[in-house]
Amino acid sequence: MKRISTGTIGRFTLVVRPEHLANRFKDSILPPVLATPVMIMAMENAALNAARSYLEPGESVVGTTVNIQHLAATVVGQTVTATAEVTAVDGRRIAFAVSASDEIEEIGKGTHERMVIEVARLRQRLDAKIARLADTQAAPR
């Protein structure tokens, strides 16, 4: 990875659609509002966008820590803008201050960390895990 500076900012925008709502995939009695995991996804994508241009070919960043407050509800049709600012870099670990707002107010804030990984190496580890899983499922009980 190329050196990324603190203060680097990434953004991600999402128009809230019915499939993003808490009452669609969590609890059907909830009002039709943006689900917290979807807001977090927008924040994670903003962090990815902050780091993207600093990655070498074959590298990516994966989330390792999320500490988020969901502050306000957002309804279908509103636009959520998530922002991530690099606050620290320690080797392959990148820390971010993240926030999300709709057209009216701030809806979430917190911190997030991502780790730079080599995609091919991760794929090898996953293939080995899949093989181990297949072995455990094939073993007689």
pLDDT tens across 50-70, in order?
A: 999 999 999 999 999 999 999
Q: Provide the whole-model pTM.
A: 0.91
CATH number at residue 31: 3.10.129.10
10 strand-pairing partners: 84
Band of pLDDT at residue 47, cut at 50, 70 and 90? very high
How much is the average pLDDT of 19-41?
92
Q: Is residue 1 part of a domain?
A: no
In a domain, 48, yes or no: yes
Position 2 in a domain: no
- Say if residue 104 is exposed, middle or buried (CB neighbours under 10 Å; 0-12, 13-18, 19+): exposed
Domain range for 104: 9-138
Beta bridge partners of 83: 11, 99
C-alpha distances out from residue 93 to 24, 97, 119, Å: 34, 14, 16
Query: Per the structure, how many domains does the chain have?
Result: 1
Just list the catalytic residues. 36, 44, 70
